[in-house]
Structures are given as C-alpha cells and as structure tokens.
Structure 1
Amino acid sequence: MIRTSRVVAVLSLAVLGLFAAGCGGASGENDSQKTSAPAGSAEKANPDSESGSTSAAEAPPRTASGDTAPARKSSAVTVGADGRREIDGIPYDVFFDDPLQIAANTQVVGQPAAPPGVGSGPATIGTGGQPAPSVGPDGGTPTPPQSAAAGGSGTPPASTPAGSADASEWQAIIPTEELLAEVKRIRNMLTSATQSVGAFNQSIFQIPPDAATLAMLAGIAIEHPGDIRWKANAKYVRDLAAKMVEKKLMQGRASFKQVEEPFLSIRDILDGNLPAGLPESPEQREFAEVADFGLLMKRLERAEKWLTTNGGSEASVKENADDVVRESAVIAATAKVITLPGYGFEDDDEFKGYADAMLKAAQAMMAAAKKGEFEAFQKARSQVSQACTQCHSSYRN
C-alpha cells in the first residue's frame, strides 16, 4: 500500500506537470506537498495490504455529479540553487517518464512471506527438539485429522509412545505382581530413608538408582495391562520420582527435603489419594526424560550381583524365590527400556542385541524360579552375566 500510495502521489504531480505544459494543472497549495519519499528510498510492504488498488481518498477530486473537477492553475518549473529543476521545491527527476503506463500497472508487490510453521513450509522445532505444532488458518492449532474409522483420512494417535512395548509385551516382561512388589520395596526403602536426616545420609547411595527405577516402573504402569489401582495417576508418580533426583544428592537437610517432599506425595498417590496442587504431568514421556541411564545401570548391576550371590544353590533359590523372581523381572524391564528412543541406542543393533539377550535370559530366570527348576535357572543366570560382560567390554568405556 505504501508503494501504491507513492505511485499515485507522484503520478498526480506528473499529471499536473503535463497540464502545466498544455491544458493547465494544480496550484502550489498544500496538496502539492503531500508526496512520497524519493525514488531511491527503501520500500517496505505493508502486511495488511490486500490489493494494489488506489483508495478513495487518493482518487482525483470529482464534482457532485461525478465528473472530474476542473484543474487548477499549475506552478511553473524552476531551477534550484544546486542547478536541478524543481516544481514547487520538489526535484523534477522524481516524476516518471510515462506516468500513464505506471498507473496502468496493477501488479501487487511486496507480499509478506508466510511465517515458519504456516502452510506447506518446513516444520519448526519446539522444546526438546520436537516438531512444533503447525498453525491453523485462524492462528490457532488446527484440528487433528480424524481416523479412517471416523470418516477422516488421518492417522489416529498411537496408544503408546513410538518404539515402546505394547501392553501385552509389558505383562510378559514384568508381570503385574512383580512390578507392584518392586514398587513396594522402593517405597519401604524411601520410608526408612526419610525418617530423619541421619537415615537419609546413610541411604544416599541407594536412593538415586531406586528413584530412577520407580520412575521407570511408573512409566511402564501407564501402559501395563495389569490391575494397578494407581495407574490413572502413574504419570505423577513417574515425574515425582524423577524430581527426587533431578539434582545430585548431598548429605544434609537440603537434599533430604529434595527427596522427602516428592516422596510424601508419591506415598499418598500409591494409597489412592491424589494430593492437591500437583503440577500437571503429560500422559506420555520418553523414559530417558525421567529415568537416568546410568542410574538404571546401577540398579541392573545390583540385581545381577544379588542373583549371583543368592542364586548359587538350589536351596537358596527356593528360599528366596519371590525376591529372585522380582529381581529377574527388574532386569528384564530395564533391558527393554534402555533400548527405547531417548537413550541413543534405538538404532544400535549391537547394543540392542546384548539387551535382547539379557531380556530373554531374565525372563527364563523368572520362569525357572517359579517352577523350581534350578538347572534352567543357573543357565539363564549365566546368560545374563555373559550379556552384561560383553556389553560392558564394548560400551562401558
């Protein structure tokens, strides 16, 4: 619109100049001083412009009958102090050579480019490196596409995160009773550790791996098909467990409160009560966001060493059968989770090979311990240790 206004203003003066040479023109009153910037100045398109047409305010004056008003007397062309020709102080060279041809040009120029994320341009990147939602024609987020079953052609959202296990698979990896048993063990440990600052200081090295494991198990519970009464609020348990170790723990009251406050809310949720005032948590998050890889590895290593110590004899396996099954299930679940997107190994076939071997061996340990088959258990336990050793030799350093 700015450029169009400039063209019309200059055109008007040019026409006045033509009238000065022949049939008369405008006088040197204030109207002749309302010109645009010189031709050499920068031009900036107005994003609100919708066309290249001239507004009514810029049209030539007309009489009440609609005819063009009589032209007024023109000002003469003069020569300024610098030797340049002028009309009422305006440089003569701003006028177009052929103003009628310029006026006939209705091409619209200077349309603003569409902002990122609008139309068919490349998607923008949002927080965490994820694609930001596109913008609808009204400036809001567009309505998601309907599934084919609903009459649309879009793809419905998946019920589980990309690359995660499905519900039936989680049941085979860590049965409901083993998941709940491990959550109970961690709860009991944290209850003891938060009795006092002194008790916390004594448990400071055990808390981080268990907190990461609790976050992992809560994430699994969201997708697990088992009867878990706090499943609807598992997302809060997941995020609160992660919050307990979001900063490195140090001995003393500050870290004690860092663990105690989230744990009190976790305990209420596990008891069936959702505390008021909790920040909202997303339904789905990558496990890597809430369960640190290094802490999960410490918990897995602890389980493998415990099984080596307490699974060395048939009598010991039978005596500690519940704990043997639970520790085996923790290994299986961890071996699955660390191959999911976020940890950086989802495309590493060698790493996934070690993790898959560990997962299958841990499942075999569970089955053998439940059936009391010691030889099968020993074979599977050896396979878990072998997978750990081979993986460490390739990745630990």
Structure 2
Amino acid sequence: MNEPENRLRQKPILRSAALSYTCLSILLLFTGCGGGTPPATPQPQPTATPAQAPATSVAQTAPTQPAKSDEKKDSRKTIDGIPYDVWFDNPLAVAGNNQAVAPVSLPGNTVAATPTTPAPAGEMKPAAASGTPTSGGIDWKTIMPMPVLESQVKDIRNRLTKNMQSVGTYNNSYLEIPMFTSTLAALAGIVTEHPEDVGWKKNAKHLRDLAAGISAAPLKRGAKSFREIQVPYEQIIVIMNGSLPAGIAAADEKKPLSEVASMGDLMKRADIASKWLKSNVGNADALKSEKEKVIEEAHLLAAISKIITTEGYGYVDDKGFLNHANPMSDASLKMVEAAKGDNFPQFDESLTRVYKACTQCHSEYKE
C-alpha cells in the first residue's frame, strides 16, 4: 500500500544525485583529467637521460675494482713470483736476552728487491757440498768447519747461561730454549763425525744427548720445570769446559741426528739466520762490517739444510725435497764464499737462491 508513496519520496533523491553527476562531468570536461593543460610539445628524452646515468656510472666504476686489487698484488715483494711472506713466521725473532737477532733494516738494503734471476735448482750443486744424503757421508769439514761450529756452540752456551740464571730469567725465555738445545744437540752430533778436533770432542756424544734431553719434552713456566733442566744444563757446561761430569749416563758413539734434533726446532733456527742475513746485510759495506757473523750464519744454514736430508727425517729418498734442501745448502756455501771475497752481488744472488728454495719447499711440504 505504501509502495507508491515510497517511490515518490525516492525521486527527489535520485534527481539530486543525477544533477550532481552531470555537473561533475561538465567540470572535468573543461579542466581535463591531468589537472591542467598538457605541454604543447612532449619531451620524453629528458626522462630517459637520468635513467641512463646510473648505468653509465656503473660501467665506469666496474673496471676500477680489479685494477685496485692488481695494484695491491703487484706491490708485494717477490722472488721469481714467490712472495717473501710465504716463508713461515718466526715467533722467536728475538732469540736471546743477551743478543738481539731481530732483523734490523739498514740504509740501502737491496736484498728484498734483488734484480738477479736465480738459476734453476739443479744448476747449483758443487761437488764439495753435494754429499750423500746420510750423516756419515756428508763433508762436514766443508759445510761446518770446526772453528765455526765451536763459535756457534759458545754462542748457545752464553744464551743458556743467561736464560738459566734464575727462575725469572728462565720464565722469560723458556719458549726459545728448545730451539737452541736442539741446535746444540745437532752440532754435537756433527762433532762425533767431524774429521777436525775440538777440546770436548771425546765427550761430544754426552753433550749431544744432554742437549737432546732438554728439548725432548715441552718446557713450562715455573720453578719445577726450571729445576728439571738445571742439572743437565750444568752438566753441559762441565763438558764444554773439557771435563766429564760424574755419574753421567752412557751414550752411543753414533746416533742419527733425527733422534736428537727435531726438524721444527732446526727450521726455527734457520729462519732466524736467514732473516738476519736478509735484513742486516743489504749492501757491500754491511757485508764487510758483518763478515764474520755472515760466514757463521751461512755455514749454519748450510749445515741445517743438510741435516734435514739425513736418515730419520723422512726425506732421504724424496727427490722433490732433496731438490730444495741441497740447493739451499749449496747457496749458503756460496754466501760464505761471497763474504770472504767481499763480493756483495754474489752474496745477494745466493741469498735469493736460499729464499727461493725455502719458499718452494714450504709451499709443497709444510703442513
């Protein structure tokens, strides 16, 4: 019944909505959907230019990334393309409290950037140092003359005397002691086979075993460890003075060097020697002023590189290892020859050969 009335009430509302819609359409027709009059000449190019700019910037900077990397790589000092820092780090650069052995650069040091080109390893094998790779067949008179060996032993004695003064001095140096006692054991072992004489040669086997005993187990800080090695240390001093300590244990006349000196300790000592030579003998004047020490350290390098080729170290039949160790020994003897003749170019070249042999060997054999 009320349906017609409801329809009449709805018509004004519908008419009002329709009128509003018509007005809005007319307004949009005159003003445009974009809110204003569009430009007469559209220019899409400017919008493309900013979009291209980042791409251009990336293209320019991308090549510069590897270029910086190359500059960093090229700045490293190398020997035949082998970086110097390949050689293992030396945690004992200062080897003793009474004698500084840390490398100290000298003006005009040219060792690190030597222009010489080392010859292949096989080209350096002089007959005097080649030797059969067994301790009994090595020419120790050439590789380690007795006066040089005795001087090295005295140096170790002085270090041990300094280190063993008290528990305090022991605590400050106990990490380095095995390196020097292993070296001492190896040198004493050489004496038992050496054709030349020294005052304590008849007791060299005892000195060898006493020094090896100190290095046999890791040392620790404290009075207990100090007392454990104090007795063998004192017996070592007695032997170096030319006597035999009372009650000392029997010792074998001959013993493989591998049983008395660890390869790791010997290589630490070789590291000190080579780094000292590299840093402190950088020109002809330095070679002359340090001649005596250069000769001793070069002989020691020759001896160590020969020792590690003997029975027991595991490389006596390894031709690859011998092709590194033997040239290192030969190059060390060339340094001796150069030092005696004040021939710095020959010394520089030989030291480079030593570093080449070491870096190549460690890249293949170091674990």
Shorter-chain TM-score: which interval?
A: 0.5 to 0.7
Deviation at 1:164, TM superposition (A): 1.7
Task: Work out whether residues 186 and 257 of structure 2, in 8 Å CA contact, stay in contact via their aligned partners in 1.
Answer: yes
Specify the SS of the correspondent of 2:317: coil
1:360 pairs, out of 317, 320, 330, with 330
Given that 2:327 and 2:357 are in contact with CA atoms closer than 8 Å, whether structure 1 keeps it comes out as yes
For residue 221 of structure 1, what is the amino acid of its counterpart?
V
Amino acid in the other structure paired with 2:221: Q
How far did 1:166 drift? 3.6
Give the one of 357, 360, 374 matched to 2:344.
374
SS of 2:135's equivalent in the other structure is coil
Do residues 349 (structure 1) and 349 (structure 2) align? no
- Asked if the contact 1:166–1:223 (Cα under 8 Å) also holds between the matched residues in 2, the reply is no
Within a 5 Å distance, the mapping from 1:1-397 to structure 2 comes to: 163-166=134-137, 169-397=139-367
Task: Render the CA deviation track for 1:32-71: whole Å, top value 9, x for unaligned.
Answer: xxxxxxxxxxxxxxxxxxxxxxxxxxxxxxxxxxxxxxxx
Residue matched to 1:124: none
Q: Deviations over 1:275-301 (max 9, x none)?
A: 110000000111111101111111111
State the one-letter code of the partner of 2:300.
V
Shift of 1:259: 2.8
Q: Deviations over 1:187-225 (max 9, x none)?
A: 000000000111111112221111100000000001111
Q: Which residue of 2 aligns with 1:74?
A: none
Shift of 1:380: 0.6
Deviation of 1:376 (Å): 0.8
In 2: Cα distance, 1:222 partner to 1:328 partner: 21
Cα separation, 1, equivalents of 2:266 and 2:303: 10
TM-score relative to the length of structure 2: 0.63
Q: Is the 8 A contact 1:365 1:381 kept in 2?
A: yes
Q: What does residue 63 of structure 1 align with?
A: none
Deviation per residue, 1:246-288 (Å, 9 max, x gap): 1101111122123321111111111111011000000011111
Between the aligned partners of 2:232 and 2:339, the Cα distance in structure 1 is: 35
1:372 Cα offset (Å): 1.2
Contact 2:135–2:257 under 8 Å retained in 1: no
Q: Which amino acid aligns with 1:226?
A: E
RMSD: 1.4
Gaps of 5+ in 1: 1-160
Secondary structure, in 3 states, of the residue corresponding to 1:281? coil
Higher relative contact order (CA 8 A, sep 6+): 2
Structure 1 runs (4+) deviating above 4 angstroms are none
Q: State how far apart, in whole Å, the 2-side matches of 1:243 and 1:265 are.
A: 12
Separation (CA, whole Å) in 2 of partners of 1:173 and 1:239: 22
Distance, in Å, in 1 between the alignment partners of 2:317 and 2:228 is 35
Q: Which has the higher helix share?
A: 2
Conserved in 2, the CA contact under 8 Å of 1:242 and 1:290?
yes
Q: Which amino acid in 2 is paired with 1:334?
A: I
CA shift in 2, pair 1:387/1:256, >3 Å = same
User: What is the CA-CA distance between 1:162 and the residue it aligns to?
Assistant: 9.0
Flag the 1:352–1:229 CA change in 2: closer, same or farther, 3 A: same
Structure 2: which amino acid aligns with 1:279? A
Unaligned runs of 5+ in 2: 1-131
| SS in structure 1 at match of 2:250 | coil
Contact 1:245 1:259 in 2 (8 A): no
Return the alpha-carbon distance in structure 1 between the equivalents of residues 136 and 306 of structure 2: 8
Residue identity over aligned pairs, in percent, reads 42
1:367 maps to amino acid: E
Question: How high is the TM-score relative to the length of structure 1?
Answer: 0.58
